[in-house]
Chain A
Amino acid sequence: GQQVMQIPQYQHVQEGEDFTTYCNSSTTLSNIQWYKQRPGGHPVFLIQLVKSGEVKKQKRLTFQFGEAKKNSSLHITATQTTDVGTYFCAGKWSGYALNFGKGTSLLVTP
């Protein structure tokens, strides 16, 4: 089936450093969503991107959707320890279901 590839798998940063995770699909997406899962928790919705070239910001988080709607990124500026968790992108092509990327686990040390 259709998949989104997500990199890196792990990222360890010092508090205050920036962090970026990338997702890529070989085919054009209908939309892409981003979720955060804290250790021991369930995924929580962050944002949905629908339009080509769309950029959305949530405080220190910046989400981008590529012009071809095949790739997306999540960038966190000046990470904090509260940013720890696994960030998943989830792609939708058609129908109802989302397919999740493998996730990027972020560890932030103070």
Chain B
Amino acid sequence: GAVVSQHPSRVICKSGTSVKIECRSLDFQATTMFWYRQFPKKSLMLMATSNEGSKATYEQGVEKDKFLINHASLTLSTLTVTSAHPEDSSFYICSAREGGGSTGELFFGEGSRLTVL
């Protein structure tokens, strides 16, 4: 199946700094990617839909100025957590569909665990 790669897998940062997480589709083009947040032993909460060449669509309650999403190419979306605080510590995971359609299997990245001190 298709492969989605996320980097870094783990990051520790100080409160107030910004952290960028990359999500790449390695063997397919993804016009749309999705960013989720997962708390320990909890479900995946959809944060935003990343659209190549246009603005991301954020879910209700997700601060767009806090979680900046850039989808500059067909294989790369980035999530930047700005001015991170301890409550932003979480597991962030991206996904994408092969072919860019609205249906079909989601391929997930390995996830990025953010710890804010």
Instruction: Give chain A's interface residues, CB within 8 Å of chain B.
Output: 1, 30-31, 33, 35, 42-45, 48, 50, 88, 90, 92, 95-103, 105
Interface residue count on the B side (C-beta < 8 Å): 26
Contact A48 B103 (CB under 8 A): yes
Residue numbers in A under 8 Å from B59 (CB-CB):
1
Residue numbers in A under 8 Å from B43 (CB-CB):
88, 100-103
Q: Of all chain B residues, which has the CB nearest A90?
A: B106
User: How many inter-chain residue pairs (CB < 8 Å) link A and B?
Assistant: 56
Q: How far is the CA of A48 from the CA of B106 in the complex (A)?
A: 10
Residue numbers in B under 8 Å from A50 (CB-CB):
103
Contact B103 A92 (CB under 8 A): yes
Q: How far is the CB of A63 from chain B (nearest CB, A)?
A: 14
Q: How far is the CA of A1 from the CA of B60 in the complex (A)?
A: 8
Contact A42 B110 (CB under 8 A): yes
B27 interface residue, CB < 8 Å from A? no
Contact A105 B41 (CB under 8 A): yes
